[in-house]
Structure 1
């Protein structure tokens, strides 16, 4: 009998991002990535046993000190970076509820900023990736799916 060798399973990194706008400016972070300062939305990896909405709430708080209420899914984005790592990003828009006083933000975050689209475009080379502006494009064009567009069930155990 012949054995067929199959490649190891491939899995993308699942991430979430928060899109929050106030008076034409977007909540952004400047983060240190491999020695470089890069702009990104508050974003990060989905952790085991949390929903996508729970992940984006957590990431926004951890990276900015703001409590975020995800109101809609703006889009789902797939990217493969130059090193071959693939990412599947779920971007949510929503409302900032409150800024938590004296909240310690993640160590890789250098600064929490409010930036307009023009400034982001001018700093295109310093964006974490091209998905950052694509998320804003989709947000500004009104793309929205209800949060329940992504069915989620979490089974502990």
Structure 2
């Protein structure tokens, strides 16, 4: 067995940067309510850091407490999903395709195209509701 320096294990360990401990602050219900109102759509922690440090406040990664950008678009999607039997119908179509029993008629093709458009419209509304560009960009 070779003699290794006694601090070999310490030197061999990967260096990980420790995160600072969180800071807690007790607020009354009224104080917290006021902070949340003043913060608007910003996460409360980001708002407090901004108020304390101004331009020197470093942003943190995260989605924020209210990622929904367009409530009406989200409502349209949820309403459409509630009214439709889209998942069931698509499942039946997939089963028919797999078994070879799907007759391809002009009506069938029209219904498949309508279902595809409905799925595309819902995808676009969801992207808008989440603040994303429906055409696929940021």
Band of TM-score, shorter chain: under 0.3
Relative to its length, the structure with more strand (as a share) is: 1
Relative to its length, the structure with more helix (as a share) is: 2
* Structure number with bigger Rg: 2
Provide TM-score, normalisation by structure 2: 0.22
Structure with the greater relative contact order (CA < 8 A, sep ≥ 6): 1 or 2? 1
